[in-house]
Every structure is written in structure tokens, then in C-alpha cells.
Amino acid sequence: MRYAALSDRIGHAVNLVLLALMGLVALFPFLHVLSQSLSSHAAIVSGRVTVYPVGLQLEAYQQLLQDRAFYRSFGVAIVRTVLGTAINMTLTCLMAYSLSRKHLKGRGLIMNMIIFTMIFNGGMIPTFLLLKQLHLLDTIWSLLLPSAVSAFNLILLKNFFQTIPESLAESARIDGAGHGVILRRLFVPLSLPAMATLTLFYAVMHWNTYFDAVMYINNPKLLPLQVYLRNVIVLNDSNMNVTDFSGATLISPESLKAAAIIASIVPMIAVYPFVQHYFVKGVMLGAVKE
């Protein structure tokens, strides 16, 4: 018995060490990018920057914060996320509530129609041509409307609403409450954790998606943050100044890219600790099958 305990204890130690190593592997890339954003051009080109800044300088951030395109794309991303999530939640709640009422005629048909969109879709080109015909290309609506309801989230919320006892809605009806009141005053407050989770899922989707903007948006004034960031990183495309008046390099382009990455990460990191709980809950919501 004593021997078994020892082997288990060694196993535990090895497990901890491995996890710690994996944690470091996850952490080092961030530290590296952070260090690059703070290091001097000379240190970066000579390959001396690893996980701490060498030749500390803040010029990359100064340049970034002077770039109007950065602010504009940040603003577009915020507008998209707020407006988009509001549309998402409104439509999803209204639909989920109606579809959770068992006496609704045609409920099965609508559910099947929704589920079918999860396994088959028209594809990239027909969707693009549709937006073109609707004259939505190059408008903020092209980023909001095509993803207005997620079938997956809708079904999740519908199932959640169905767990609320029928008798509650029943008694509210007897007291003269309409469906609008029942949804707003009863169902939404009773499912706050699910609401929070879905809001976060939708918000993260809007904040992170960039490929739709690549396809649908040409106007540089409407490009969201992720596309701006991609242009800086992949295409080396920015109005930022990396040389001084004599043409000597002041800031390494690597530094600028790194600073742009860090500036885009910060909002996520700032919000994450407060919402991690809901995210994890949300995965469970989706994982539970009837």
C-alpha cells in the first residue's frame, strides 16, 4: 500500500510539472509579443528579445495611439459589438420564447426549418451576391444582419425557457399579463445566467469575426479593429511612421505589430476575469442533452 501511494505521489508531481510547463508554453508567446512591443529596433533585429523587453522604449505605442485609423477601427468594432449583440439578443429571446410555448401551431415546422440551416447553407458566394443585391455591402448592416440569430444559441435558450414551469406563465396569464410582459418580467429575469452567457457568446463572436468584413467591406472607414490589425500584421499596411526626419529607423515594424496586437488583447484580458464563470457555465448549458 505504501509503495502504491509513493508511485501515485510521483505521478502527481510529474502531472504538476507537465501542466506548469504547458502553462509556460501558453504564456511565453504573449510575453514575447509584449516584450517586442516595448523593445528597441536594434535589440529586435539582433534577435535579443525573448520574454522580457530589451532597450525599453514606448514609441511603438505612441505611434499606434496617434494613428487615427486605429481609433476608427476600434470604434467600428465597439459599435458592431454593441449593436450586433443587441439585435442578436432581441431576436433570439423573442423567437426562443415563442418556440418554447407548447401550444404554438407550426412550432415543429419552424424548428425543423431552423435546424436545417445548421447542417446546410447556401455558401459564401450566394450570400455575398444576396448582400450585394440588397445593397448592404459596404454598410455596417452587412456585419450585423447575416449573423442576426445563431441557430445553436436559439435552441439553447429555447431549451432553457422550457425548463421554466408552465404554471408560472399560466398564473401570469390569469392575472392578465400578455406575452410581452411574461417574457420581459418573468422569463428574462428567471434565466439571467443563460442571458449573460448568450450575450457574451454573441459579443465575442462580433468582436473577433473578421472574415465577413474582409468580404463585405471596402470602405476603409468601416473596417473593424480585427481587419485593421490584420492589415498591420500581414500586409505591413499602416500610416504609422517608423523613421525619423532623416530616414533612420526608430521603431522596428515588429514592434508596431506587437503593440497593435497587445492593444487589441487588452480589452479582452480586462473583461475576461469577470466573465470566465459565465463562459464555463455556457459550455455546460450546451453540453447537457435531454
Q: Which of residues 225-244 bind other proteins (CB under 8 A)?
A: 226-227, 229-230, 233-234
Per CB under 8 A, the segment of 67-75, 164-172, 190-198, 210-218 that binds other proteins is 210-218
Question: Phi, psi at residue 249, to the nearest 5°?
Answer: -75, 125
In the Cβ-directed half-sphere of 150, how many Cα atoms lie within 13 Å?
15
Three-class secondary structure of residue 249 per DSSP? strand
Q: Residue from 139, 162, 209, 241 that binds other proteins (CB under 8 A)?
A: 209
Q: How far is the CB of 65 from other proteins (least distance, A)?
A: 18
Q: How far is the CB of 55 from other proteins (least distance, A)?
A: 13
Q: Among residues 257, 259, 249, 233, which one has the least CA distance to residue 58? A: 259
Of 250-289, binders to other proteins (CB under 8 A) are 252, 254, 257-258, 260-261, 264-265, 268-269, 272-273, 276, 279-280, 283-284, 287, 289
Q: Is 185 a binder of other proteins (CB under 8 A)?
A: no
- The CA-atom distances, in angstroms, between 134 and each of 171, 219, 274, 288 are 45, 17, 40, 39
Q: Taking contact as CB under 8 A, which single stretch among the options 66-74, 165-173, 187-195, 205-213 is the one that binds other proteins?
A: 205-213
Rounded Cα distance between 195 and 171, Å, is 23
- Report the b/e string of 16-46 with b at 16+ CB within 10 A: eeeeeeeeeeeeeeeeebbbbbbbbbebbee
Would you tell me how many other CB atoms lie within 10 Å of the CB of residue 73?
A: 25
Q: Which stretch binds other proteins (CB under 8 A): 31-39, 62-70, 165-173, 241-249?
A: 31-39
Per the listing, cell 448592416 goes with 141
> Mask: binding to other proteins, 61-90, rule CB under 8 A, as x and -?
-----------------------------x
Q: How far is the CB of 141 from other proteins (least distance, A)?
A: 11
Q: How far is the CB of 162 from other proteins (least distance, A)?
A: 15
Task: Answer yes or no whether residue 174 interacts with other proteins by CB under 8 A.
Answer: no
3-state secondary structure of 248: coil
